[in-house]
Structure 1
């Protein structure tokens, strides 16, 4: 236990290290900057930089880097050593406050969506002191924001930080009206559950589709998949357990509170969940978690797949974004308490979320969208593409009673007895868990279950923070001008339930009936990433993001162009990879197999023995017919892809063509190839099958 206590955070320049190493005045000034969002003094930065450098060098660091999160979805870093030459031919180790606060990165090759031209290369990184620096691979990593020469954000961290300031200000306004005078800050807290696959690296190296795209573009289902439910929460195999042990240790060194790990539903699928922390730090930690999963897997001869749907026919991977709001004096604003019907403050914050999710459902849908998630959402394994909220019967009933002007009481949930004397009775929760809901209240937080496994959690959280901020501001305006505060609270709850209650759905989100019902309610059903991208051009969405200074209009437009470009490039790479595999691997293999079958038929005929060779002949006919179809599918995809690559009237039109035409033709090619896989000799099939990959870890 003492070893674990010493290990945790040992590579982090955290609060304990700062308190120990920084002069008292410097420490207090830095804490004030972090806690109250005040501007950072350069003199303070100079002292912090010196102490940070000394600590890092003691830990074996030789370099430092400004670590940032560009619009690629992964992190970026440029390393500089601490050395500075002296006149006598030696070096001294230096790190200044200026180097800590500001870095310069070449921004020309990062996605910008038109915010700057290619020749306008200068970009800046700025120290985010709210997320602690850390050491990895003998380098001091300094979390930073990334912007263009003109100050436009080119990253995911900056809008998240902006949104966190915004929701703190709006939430405090509401809290003051309820008499809370002690809280000085409200933070969005997040705990992201991370799903992933682990497969053998030898298998991975033989699959060009996994190498180039992160998912299998071909693959027939094996005789057994996940239908026996025997992998979920099952005994963890020794090889996987060794990986998890090493991963935990590396995460703990970085102060990442990895808490829960288990087998997930699909074969070779697993999950890791951390303890909650602020949205900003949780985002940084999740990026590090994904990176470490990949690097540590390789040490065990494994490859970690973070694609949302690496294997068709079995469950894909998501990232459940558990979100709540907490004050710096220790109050969870989404904690109902024992009598939620009497907790007006809780009900106001609950209604703010309901109204925000209903009125800005398209932005939340976008926050959970990417090309990989198109294969997963709505496939009876993940939430549907329709945004709805699960509240549970108790909270729904409370809102309904208030809306009707009726008295209400909270249900008294008792203890559950399981019928075995030696087993203890345990308390029943106030709500069940609805695993089909994309946005579910789970006791004292909301679980946004639509986010893809490979995605940064910055986007869902800055959209969520911003839209809830907008509604909290509306509520504060009403309450501040109310003649009767309590009556206005009830009026707000009534209005929200009547106007926005349509987004509440406690049933089965996987059912076809819900799709029809959601349409009747007028809820948007944005079925694809391309459909969701269009929400960035909707005027009300531009207004809310600009009003709260999370994005300006240019930044919103840039995200629109970047997202379309991402989709186009993703499908283009997948189509080219399919053609490569089909033409150079599958087609030669099946032609050779056909030739072998044909030769065997001729040999049997020429041996002079009268035997039934109808099975051989039928097999030859089936294979050659499918081979002919495969060649047609290849030619069709080549033609469609060539047309897709031509100039279109807009990026959106091009993305739609890729979605509706190229992607459909890719599915046709796959279907033919997968039929061939199921009948061709496994010894001549050119790459590992699903059975090989999923059940040999």
Structure 2
């Protein structure tokens, strides 16, 4: 529980109290300094050291008033997590023996972590340690309070000594500048002279599991890998659909309340929370914000969920598939484009067929996703998501776009006749109950099986994994759409008759890329066949997705818009291959350890007890022991199968460890080690259903999912 627990907390009273936000800056900074900083935030530019000194001093004074003793440059290296090094505000002792609290502009603007200790994909050798963090002034500094006290966290970008991006934030900021530039270029063609900035607006929905911490600590597989490597579902799972939106248990409600309070104080707009489909699964969604702030906030959400869970004797699991047999966890990345004067570029209006600007933007997005489907799929690829994508619980691994009945009808009109004359309207929906109001239903339904679905005034990218940063998918979305906008502007800026040219371009984009539009059931086997007929890529695992990072098409696009260099892309591919192999290796070693030291010995004890029971019954003069004998034979056969599978897994895992790091090793882990792991799990999971529960050395799925 939080120390300042109160039965009722007004979010408005505490929201942002630990954030050095715009209101705080206006109060504390001199007007000229505030104006200069705001201009840099809105327009870009360099911050001079004198101005930085003033900002740093006021930020430090504010942080100390909030209880902070240390500051940290908070950044997002390529290990999927955040990183921080804490420095106190104290200075060298004075002659009197006292010390002062100090924080300079130089310390605010630049830090110097060890670049060789983070994943770099060969960009930094072990002996080449220098790297830099640079203050991202567009994302506000905040104070995080935890067991270590209060720390001033300064969001930063992270780059190598030679200038390459070693983090998630730098390319995200680059992509935001690109989509801003190309969007404004397009808007000007339609006579918009008032909008001066276009920003990708992101709302992330975070799914997660909660289990009891004491039970978690008895599962070495959860501790080492984040998922259960063994285990079978109890008699009841999610079949009854009774968990989704169900009443939140008191212990979970108390946890959620404390999560909200901590997030609100740090300026994170925690909005919606509920039980998800699987037992033990929940979701938290926040209000939309600019892409880089939303990315920072989502990291804070994940960290806060984990930290607060421990205070309640719980454990938060962010792995995409911690339990076999029930739904896994994803992260829905809701993406739209908004101007600084309040225009949502993805708002179709009441008559989409007449909204030419929207139709052009929509056609460009359709084109972008079709041309770069593999790259967008790669942005959501990780070892955990391999267990989730394509199952009947998540989007399929095949990229497609859901537009809904209304927009699909408009697109079909444009393709077939060259002109759209109508837009389907929502109808009045009668409830049939006189005391209830009639409802106006939307002109289109939703499709939960679509990986990339239009949902009214935004696109929802549903492939992203629960534990992943949302930075990479948004880098891809920003850049591929910027490329499509740029291509459109290149054509339209040269056109003699703009209206005719834009009409022809909309039709051309939809006609050439219609194959990516699919409104049906993405879970069906028929769709897999239909997608193959259409020529859409079906990338089923991360190892096969990683090459999309370094295709000539990808490199050419990213280098054109200065989002990534070829070297940066190659390094990221190398990091991902290495991470995949390491992940599988850890899982394999954990399985070997758990099976050989805990599970197989438990089965041996059970078979020994069973054999002793048979002998005891026979000694008592009872000859009929067929049931016990049959059980012993079945258990012994499964034990033999388990031992054979254990030896096979040990052998292939050993082979994997002798291979050089890179694609070949990752491919071997996928093709050989993963099947060997599955072969070991099968008989042991069956044994769990046979062996006396008192002898089984780990909490079961039923214990974990239903006893919180």
TM range (shorter): over 0.9
- Please list, as runs of the form range in 1=range in 2, the aligned pairs for 1:673-688 lying within 5 A after superposition: 673-688=684-699
Partner of 1:399: 411
Distance apart, 1:245 and its partner CA = 0.2
Q: Does residue 593 of structure 2 align to residue 577 of structure 1?
A: no
Moved more, 477-486 or 398-407: 398-407
Q: Distance in 2 between matches of 1:423 and 1:290?
A: 40
Equivalent position to 1:660, from 646, 664, 671: 671
Give the corresponding residue for 2:4.
Answer: none
Residue in structure 2 matched with residue 160 of structure 1 by the alignment: 172
The residue aligned with 1:322 is 334
Query: 1:95-128: CA deviations, max 9, x gaps?
Result: 1111100011111210000111111001100000
Query: 1:177: which partner in 2?
Result: 189
**What is residue 12 of structure 1 aligned with on the other side?**
19
Report if the CA contact (8 A) 1:309-1:376 is conserved.
yes
- Choose from 592, 601, 604 the match for 1:588: 601
CA distance in 2, matches of 1:675, 1:544: 50
Q: Which residue of 1 aligns with 2:36?
A: 29
Q: Is the contact made by 1:402 and 1:408 (CA closer than 8 Å) also made in structure 2?
A: no
Listed as ranges, the matches of 1:584-663 within 5 Å are 584-608=597-621, 610-648=622-660, 651-663=662-674
Q: Distance in 2 between matches of 1:645 and 1:588?
A: 27
Deviates more, 1:416-425 or 1:298-307: 416-425
| Correspondence for 1:287 | 299
Q: Does 1:296 align with 2:308?
A: yes
Tell me, yes or no, if the aligned pair for 1:30 and 1:40 is still in contact at 8 Å: yes
In the alignment, the residues of structure 1 paired with residue 407 and residue 48 of structure 2 have an alpha-carbon distance, to the nearest angstrom, of: 47
Partners of 2:541 and 2:431 in 1: how far apart?
44
- 1:201-247: CA deviation from partner (whole Å, max 9, x where unpaired): 01100000000000000001211110110000000000000000000
Q: Give yes or no for contact 2:550–2:566 (8 Å, CA) kept in 1.
A: no
Query: Does residue 1:232 correspond to 2:244, yes or no?
Result: yes
Match of 2:562 in 1: 549
Q: Distance in 2 between matches of 1:165 and 1:667?
A: 45
Q: Secondary structure of the residue that 1:105 maps to in structure 2?
A: coil
Measured after TM superposition, the shift of residue 2 of structure 1 is 8.5
User: SS state of the match for residue 91, structure 1?
Assistant: coil
Confirm or deny that 1:217 pairs with 2:229: yes
SS of match in other structure, 2:133 = strand
What does the per-residue CA deviation read over 1:425-470, in whole Å, with 9 as the maximum and x for residues that have no partner?
2221132110000000000000000000000000000011011110
- Matched ranges for 1:255-274 at <5 A: 255-274=267-286
- Which blocks of at least 5 consecutive residues in structure 1 are unaligned? none
Kindly provide the CA deviation profile for residues 524-579 of structure 1, in whole angstroms up to 9, marking residues without a partner as x: 01110111001112110011111111111110000000000010000000000000
* 1:454 counterpart (467, 477, 485): 467
Is 1:126 matched up with 2:138?
A: no
Q: Which of 418, 441, 459 does residue 431 from structure 2 map onto?
A: 418
SS of corresponding position for 2:502:
helix
Please say if residues 642 and 683 of structure 2, whose CA atoms lie closer than 8 Å, have aligned partners that are also in contact.
yes
Other-structure match for 1:143? 155
**Deviation of 1:417 (Å):** 1.4
CA distance in 2, matches of 1:126, 1:290: 23
Match of 1:92 in 2: 100
8 A Cα contact 2:406 2:425, kept in partner: no
Shift of 1:352: 1.4
SS in 1 for 2:654: helix
Cα separation, 2, equivalents of 1:428 and 1:37: 44
Instruction: Output the TM-score relative to the length of structure 1.
Output: 0.99
**How far did 1:611 drift?**
4.8
Helix, strand or coil for the counterpart of 1:326? strand
Q: Show the counterpart of 1:483.
A: 496
Deviations 1:276-313 (A, max 9, x none): 00010000000010001001001111000000000001
Corresponding residue number in structure 1 for 2:70: 63
Question: Which residue of structure 1 aligns with residue 346 of structure 2?
Answer: 334
Deviations 1:311-359 (A, max 9, x none): 0010000000000000000000000011111111111111111110000
CA contact (8 A) 2:244 2:276 kept: yes
* In structure 1, distance between residues paired with 2:47 and 2:480: 28
- The whole-number CA distance in structure 1 between the counterparts of 2:628 and 2:609 is 11
Match of 2:571 among 550, 553, 558: 558
Structure 2 CA distance for aligned equivalents of residues 393 and 234 of structure 1: 31
Aligned to 2:3: none
Residue of structure 2 aligned with 1:189, choices 188, 192, 201 = 201
RMSD of aligned C-alpha atoms?
Answer: 1.0
Residue 39 of structure 1 deviates from its aligned partner by: 2.3
Q: Is the 8 A contact 1:264 1:270 kept in 2?
A: yes
Query: Number of paired residues?
Result: 695
Check whether the contact 2:143–2:152 (CA below 8 A) recurs between aligned residues.
yes
CA contact (8 A) 1:399 1:493 kept: no
Secondary structure in 2 matching 1:92 = coil
Farther-moved stretch of structure 1 (554-563 vs 427-436): 427-436
After the TM superposition, list the runs of 4 or more consecutive aligned residues in structure 1 that deviate by more than 6 angstroms: none
Q: Indicate conservation of the 8 Å contact 1:402/1:490, yes or no.
A: no
What is the deviation of 1:9?
A: 0.3
In 1, the alpha carbon distance for the partners of 2:12 and 2:404 equals 39
